[in-house]
Structure 1
Amino acid sequence: MAKEHILVVDDEEDILELVRYNLTKEGYRVTAVATGEEALRTAHSIHPELILLDLMLPGVDGLEVCRKLKQDPKTSHVPIIMLSAKGEEADIVTGLELGAADYVTKPFSPRVLIARLRAVLRRRSAEPLSESAPLTIHDLVIHPGRHEVLIQGQQVDLTVTEFRLLHMLARRPGWVFTRSQIVNTVHGDDYPVSDRSVDVQVVGLRKKLGALGDYIETVRGVGYRFKE
């Protein structure tokens, strides 16, 4: 039985061949393209289960490709692992805020890349079906399947990270989550993002929710919870 279809986007031919060879050897179906424009077209035509996306691309760069894919309802659900020679925290955070599921820096070990890819696919397939049901809390409606949040019928523009954070808290009102738990649930175990970045994300999320931002309560010295 064929494994998942992976779209690989990189303008370096040797990287494309390295990744294609190793993924094919593991049984994955692989489509490889070299530009951002090709990535956008191909993602819509082949419906991949995951995208490996280089950050530095000619023309439309990887960050813009990620942004466009995550804004499109037809591709917003597809997990993206970003590949880049940049390893600074600012670049990692930018990729995450745009919706990347993971971030691997070059040069990388093919075994490590495949392990990270499998982890992302496992997290995606392990999401309980019950968690895809819409949540309605007074004027707030959260649609996990659509990655959509409505307040009094008006859509709120959230990043993927903000959406996951809100959904995590809202589906268990009254339950207190530590910053580490939030990082692990939203980004995955051992992710290179500091606990303090959660505070920044919460501030941004509250601002976007307006008056309903008060639903997200700070539990001093512990973390956050969604008001019961």
Structure 2
Amino acid sequence: MTRILVVDDSPTELHVIKTMLGKHGYEVSTASSGEDGMAKAREILPDLILMDVVMPGLNGFQATRQLSQDAATARIPVIVVTTKDQETDRVWAMRQGARDYIVKPVKEKDLLERLKDILP
């Protein structure tokens, strides 16, 4: 089963995305901060990470950069999922190591298509 880690400080977003992915057979773990997301990623080595940007402490850009530079987690694709809809944010996310960028609110069909494009 494909394991996906969802990192977001909003309990509502975590619930919505986890429910969305769960009904399509994905095994979903969650983390509510960038720091927690980093620790969980190293612990469970998910197949993919969905990363929010705006979080207290370590933000999603910083966490994505650290994950992409860590030998243990560098192979894990990260999709940034955020309300930030500026082209500069999209470019910056890719420079930090993200493989894709989705603007909230997440549309189920769009998310599933992107997962199919990235996951083996």
Q: CA deviation at 1:22?
A: 1.1
**Alpha-carbon displacement from aligned partner over 1:47-105 (angstroms, at most 9, x marks no partner):** 10000000111110000000110110110010000011111110000001111000000
RMSD: 0.8
For 1:159, the equivalent position in structure 2 comes to none
TM-score by length of 1: 0.52
**1:78-93 correspondence runs (5 A):** 78-93=76-91
For 2:64, the equivalent position in structure 1 comes to 66
Q: Distance in 1 between matches of 2:106 and 2:66?
A: 26
1:27 alignment partner AA: G
1:68 alignment partner AA: Q
1:15 alignment partner AA: E
3-state SS in 1 of match to 2:19: helix
Higher relative contact order (CA 8 A, sep 6+): 2
3-state SS in 2 of match to 1:30: strand
For 2:108, the equivalent position in structure 1 comes to 110
5+ unaligned residues in a row in structure 1: which ranges? 126-228
1:41 alignment partner AA: A
Q: CA deviation at 1:117?
A: 1.4
1:25 alignment partner AA: K
5+ unaligned residues in a row in structure 2: which ranges? none
**Alpha-carbon displacement from aligned partner over 1:104-137 (angstroms, at most 9, x marks no partner):** 001221221121112111xxx3xxxxxxxxxxxx
Q: Distance in 2 between matches of 1:30 and 1:118?
A: 16
TM-score by length of 2: 0.97
1:92 alignment partner AA: R
**1:73-152 correspondence runs (5 A):** 73-121=71-119, 125=120
For 1:57, the equivalent position in structure 2 comes to 55
3-state SS in 2 of match to 1:56: coil
For 1:33, the equivalent position in structure 2 comes to 31
Q: Which structure has the larger Rg?
A: 1
